[in-house]
């Protein structure tokens, strides 16, 4: 297994998952809910930043590896799925949204693996709509984890719910895009 700074950041992202989830299982007298929300939102935001940063560093430093290309999306999927399940449990997002987003991630991951076996992985590379979906989703999750008004009085729950709905729409749109691109290979079986 190769080890470099981008892969280290990806592993850090994976380690942050049980931290931001586990914080909600601490007794209230150890840590009040506001502090749990703040800590979880900060952990998730840090993980989301490392998601962007590790890819940037891998390309900039010439440290792209096949293991890193495998581990990075796995870390992303685990992070988002854990956050969505937690948000459903906390009553901060709808279960149908979590099912749509997690279902899309599983579907497109399987599609990409299948297309790679066919030697067509470039045809299902990340699209602009996919990047937009990820940005909306990550920001929505941070806002919903924080779940308190910002200094300027911005209602993070309201904007987080709205952004999560936008992320769900973009999720379906991007899934449709990837399936349409792969349709010629799907028809061939």
Asked whether 172 and 180 are in contact (CB, 8 A), the reply is no
The closest of 44, 55, 49 to 15, measured between CA atoms, is 44
Asked whether 162 and 168 are in contact (CB, 8 A), the reply is no
pLDDT of residue 127: 73
Contacts of 18 (CB under 8 A, 6+ apart): none
Tens of pLDDT along the chain (189 residues) come to 677 898 999 999 999 999 999 999 999 999 999 999 999 999 999 999 988 888 888 889 889 888 888 888 899 999 999 999 999 999 999 999 999 999 999 998 888 888 888 777 666 667 788 889 999 999 999 999 999 988 888 899 999 999 999 999 999 999 998 888 888 888 886
Round to whole Å and give the CA distance between 96 and 8: 34
Helix residue ranges per DSSP H, 23-155: 33-60, 66-89, 95-117, 128-146
Asked whether 45 and 137 are in contact (CB, 8 A), the reply is no
Domains of the chain, with CATH numbers?
A: 5-188 (1.20.120.1760)
pLDDT of residue 124: 66
Helices (H) and strands (E) counted in the chain, each on its own, are 6, 0
Asked whether 149 and 155 are in contact (CB, 8 A), the reply is yes
Round to whole Å and give the CA distance between 165 and 171: 10
Asked whether 27 and 93 are in contact (CB, 8 A), the reply is no
Round to whole Å and give the CA distance between 102 and 78: 10
């Amino acid at each position: 297994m190769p080890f470099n700074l981008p892969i280290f950041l990806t592993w850090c992202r994976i380690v942050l998952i049980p931290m931001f989830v586990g914080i909600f299982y601490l007794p209230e007298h150890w840590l009040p809910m506001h502090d749990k929300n703040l800590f979880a939102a900060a952990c998730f935001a840090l993980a989301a930043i490392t998601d962007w940063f590790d890819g940037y560093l891998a390309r900039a430093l010439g440290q792209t590896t096949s293991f890193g290309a495998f581990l990075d999306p796995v870390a992303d999927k685990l992070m988002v799925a854990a956050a969505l399940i937690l948000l459903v449990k906390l009553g901060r997002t709808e279960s149908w949204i979590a099912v749509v987003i997690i279902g899309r991630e599983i579907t497109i991951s399987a599609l990409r693996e299948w297309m790679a076996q066919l030697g067509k992985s470039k045809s299902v590379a990340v699209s602009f709509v996919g990047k937009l979906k990820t940005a909306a989703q990550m920001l929505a999750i941070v806002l919903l984890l924080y779940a308190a008004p910002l200094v300027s009085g911005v209602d993070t729950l309201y904007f987080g719910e709205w952004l999560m709905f936008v992320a769900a729409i973009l999720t379906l749109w991007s899934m449709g895009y990837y399936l349409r691109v792969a349709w010629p290979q799907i028809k061939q079986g």
